[in-house]
Structure 1
Amino acid sequence: MSNQQVVPWYKEITKRQWKALIAAGSGWALDAMDVMLYSMILVHVMNDLQMGQTTAGFLATLTLLSSAVGGILFGMVADRYGRTKSLMISIFVYSLFTFLCGFSQTVTQLAVFRLLLGLGMGGEWVAGAALITETWDAKHRGKAMGLVQSAWAIGYALAAIVAGVISPLWGWRGVFFFGIVPALVAIWIRKGTEEPEIWEKMKKDAAAKEKGKPKLMELFSSKVFRWTLLGAVLSVCAQFGYWGLFTWIPTYLGSPIEKGGAGLDIMKSTTWIVIMQSGAWLGYVSFGFLADKIGRRKTFILFFALAALLVPFYGMSGDPTWLLILGPFVAFFGSGYFSGFGAVLAELFPTEIRATGQGFCYNFGRGIAATAPTVVGFMASSIGLGAAFGFLSISFALAALLVFFFLPETLGKQLN
């Protein structure tokens, strides 16, 4: 019998790796908070600026479209100038323009600020994902991305709390003003977070003239094009379902019953959302641990398939008690799969184009999925939000099929 003692996984993690995790996780949590503040106060913004559901959904679509552009741009910035610099700049951008949303006097002004906010939102994910996947070892990479992705649920819940506390006191404008807070995190990241060693080595070994050029076109070379295509299409399916559902859930909970909503007051809506996001947090973390244990493919299929089954039941139930019970399970499976994207995309692309590949695939999907809030808003005007949610199960089912037929298993792959 071996006397070798099993060391807990967290004791194998270095100080540098923990710093990278905190930097990427805090940036992602505050990204979620700033982006989702809009959804939390949407009912009040619609009343004040005279917006209908279709217009409100279109503004959410604008943010997602610009985030797709931002993700691709910041991916190239991260490959050329570094992961931490790209992360810092993206956080500053989304916090500044969230703050400026509070000054909007017209729908057009709000749309412009939301459009510019999206650039930073898209950039934060790709910079943070590259930083984590290159800093953490293969056997713990899934856990690391799960922990980082779980920060989105914390930020989503924090947005609900901020709106619940500030909105009754200073209105929806005060809620947006709070969005400047993440800028302070950007300053800390600039001082306390190092670039991954693998990126530093790549920059040192590569000829500046050769490697300093943007690498976007290399994603379409014969060597990696199949992964570019698969990553992009999978991202479309996964994100269409998520953004169509979670953009509108706060409005659904807070809208009057006669308008197809659940009729909850602001404190109940906040409570329901916080409880729901506790399920999302567990989903993000669980995905990471499962992906490192049983593989990326099996975990993806499990989460996508169960999301496809649960979402229609959630949409058909207008009863507050059932919404409270089902909410955490819907969020667990309907959000948790995002933890797999950073690790899998990192394992499909080489270092010199890794952030560009992650940024393109993830944000191409986000760009197409940006239509989801508008589609759901349009459908809601005739059949109601709950019924419109059921339509989204198709995208989750398609994602499960894509993984089953086309995604290779990359568990344990060392990056190079």
Structure 2
Amino acid sequence: MHWFHEIRRDQWRVLFAAQLGYVLDAMDVLLYSFALSAVKAEFQIGSAAAGAIAAVPMVTSALGGLVFGYLADRYGRARALAWSILCFSVLTALTASSRSIAQLILWRSLAGIGLGGEWAAGSVLVAETWPAEHRSKGIGLMQSGWALGYMAASLMAALVLPRWGWRPLFLLGILPAFFTWWIRRNIPESPEWRKERGSVTPLLRPPLLRRLTLLTTLCCCLLFGYWGLFTWIPTYLASPLAHGGAGLGIVKSSAWLFPMQVGAFFGYILFGLFAGRVGRRAAFLTFVLTTAALIPVYGLCGKSAGILLAMGPAIGFFGHGYFSSLGVIAAEMFPPESRATAQGFSYNAGRALSAIAPATVGALADRYGIGAALGFTSAFFVCGGLVMVVMTSNSPRSI
């Protein structure tokens, strides 16, 4: 662990900002997943409709990734990071004011624009600030913020939902807005950004166009599988056995999710170390194919709470860890002047195209039960592995 001492204090501060930004991103996104059952009951909609509403911010995040990616390339990574967090936190809080499905869709769609920009700005900031030999570790630590945000959301749901309902839960989404003041005062801009300002034109020509297409296809596969699975796991655990769920209820299911997110936290961090030993491609394939194998088993074990509890850390570990490769690969595929735009577009275009995943799994859940529907997502993790085989494991350039 001697490498800890090779990272300067300002580089740790940049990592903290990006990681905390990702914590808040995850927390805001997952509040809806935990509130899914309550939203369905209040507005009297089915699982497919509820899943479609969950998909709305994924669609608009593609626009957010493009807009904030361009802003990050043009006006600075730290500025874009602060702006994106301010955007999604305010709009998430406004979701609490929804009195109709139309209003709910409006606020969720606008919040998605801010959510789409956070990852691009934060991951590029870390990649351009940390030393090249430790970049994978830095991105892995940043990605681990998603697991922390998931745990924060599950804790908030367990404390707030049973007592006050889903509206106060979304109202708490305003909290990340106060973090933006600290970012603007304490986080310097990337030295790479200072050298070259934004331009999207190179992305429209070879060879960057081919790289952008491959990276977007990879993100489509991974994010379809991810959102189809993890949007519905809280509902799967809480739903009655008669509906294909595990019958744990809201409070108990939140407790079951904690071990899963502990596994996710270590998956994000340890992926980089594992990839350093066996190579990025081998590490990536190990993680996604193991995830594909575990999901059907997990979905069909709803009657055994003990098995679900035991499998949770493994699902979290393998089902999240591979994301630590995306920031490093993407950062090294594109030049500084278009890097954030490329990352923002590819990741969030994948998120947008995967928007049908929650609705698809929801429709299958209405017919076959939630547990069986989760198994459908395995195919997309396998497809992600195939796309990675096509992509080179060696970075085309070093930032």
Bucket of the pairwise TM-score, normalised by the shorter protein? over 0.9
Shift of 1:333: 0.8
- The answer to whether the 8 Å contact 2:265/2:317 transfers is yes
Offset at residue 282 of structure 1 (A):
0.9
Q: Is this contact kept in 1: 2:243–2:370, CA < 8 A?
A: no
1:223 paired residue number: 207
1:401 aligns to 2:386 (yes or no): yes
1:266 to 250, 264, 273: 250
2:224 equivalent to 1:240: yes
1:405, 1:127 → 2: CA distance? 27
- Structure 1 counterpart of 2:185: 191
State the match for 1:4 in structure 2: none
Aligned length: 398
Q: Is the 8 A contact 1:141 1:292 kept in 2?
A: no
Out of 112, 116, 123, the position equivalent to 1:118 is 112
* Counterpart position of 1:90: 84
Letter paired with 1:56: A
**Displacement of 1:195:** 0.6
| Regions of 4+ moved over 6 Å | none
Q: Which residue of 1 aligns with 2:271?
A: 287
Partner of residue 366, structure 2: 381
- Which residues of structure 2 form unaligned runs of 5+? none
Partner of 2:315: 330
Residue number in structure 1 paired with 2:2: 8
Residue 129 (structure 2) aligns with: 135
What is the CA–CA distance in structure 1 between the aligned matches of 2:358 and 2:135, rounded to whole Å? 32
Aligned residue in 1 for 2:298: 314
Distance apart, 1:255 and its partner CA: 0.9
The alpha carbon displacement at 1:64 in A equals 0.6
Match of 1:363 among 336, 348, 356: 348
Q: Deviations over 1:309-362 (max 9, x none)?
A: 111111111121111111111111111111111110001111111111111111
Paired AA for residue 265 in structure 1? G
User: Distance between the aligned counterparts of 1:329 and 1:147, measured in 2?
Assistant: 19
Deviation at 1:290, TM superposition (A): 2.2
Deviations 1:52-105 (A, max 9, x none): 101100011111101121111111110000001100010011111111111111
The alpha-carbon deviation at position 404 of structure 1 amounts to: 1.9
One-letter identity of the residue aligned with 1:335 = H
| Alignment partner of 2:286 out of 294, 302, 315 | 302
Kept in 1, the 8 Å contact 2:239–2:247? The answer is: yes
Structure 1, residues 104-148: CA drift from partner, whole Å, max 9, x if none? 111111111111111111100000011011011111111111001
Residue equivalent to 1:345: 330
Per-residue CA deviation, residues 22-81 of structure 1 (Å, 9 max, x unaligned), is 110001001100110111121111111212101100011111101121111111110000
Whether 1:51 and 2:45 are equivalent positions in the alignment is yes
* CA distance in structure 1 between the aligned counterparts of 2:391 and 2:91, rounded to whole angstroms: 39
**Separation (CA, whole Å) in 2 of partners of 1:154 and 1:121:** 16
Taking the aligned partners of 1:288 and 1:191, their CA distance within structure 2 comes to 30
Specify the code of the residue in structure 1 equivalent to 2:287. Answer: F
Unmatched 5+ stretches in structure 1: 1-6, 204-210
Give the structure 2 partner of residue 62 of structure 1. Answer: 56
- Distance in 1, Cα, partners of 2:38 & 2:348: 29
Q: CA deviation at 1:292?
A: 3.5
Identity of aligned residues (%): 46
Is the CA contact 1:137–1:414 (under 8 Å) kept in the aligned structure 2? Answer: no
Instruction: Assess if the C-alpha contact under 8 Å between 2:216 and 2:346 holds in 1.
Output: yes
Partner of 2:158: 164
**TM-score, length-scaled by structure 1:** 0.93
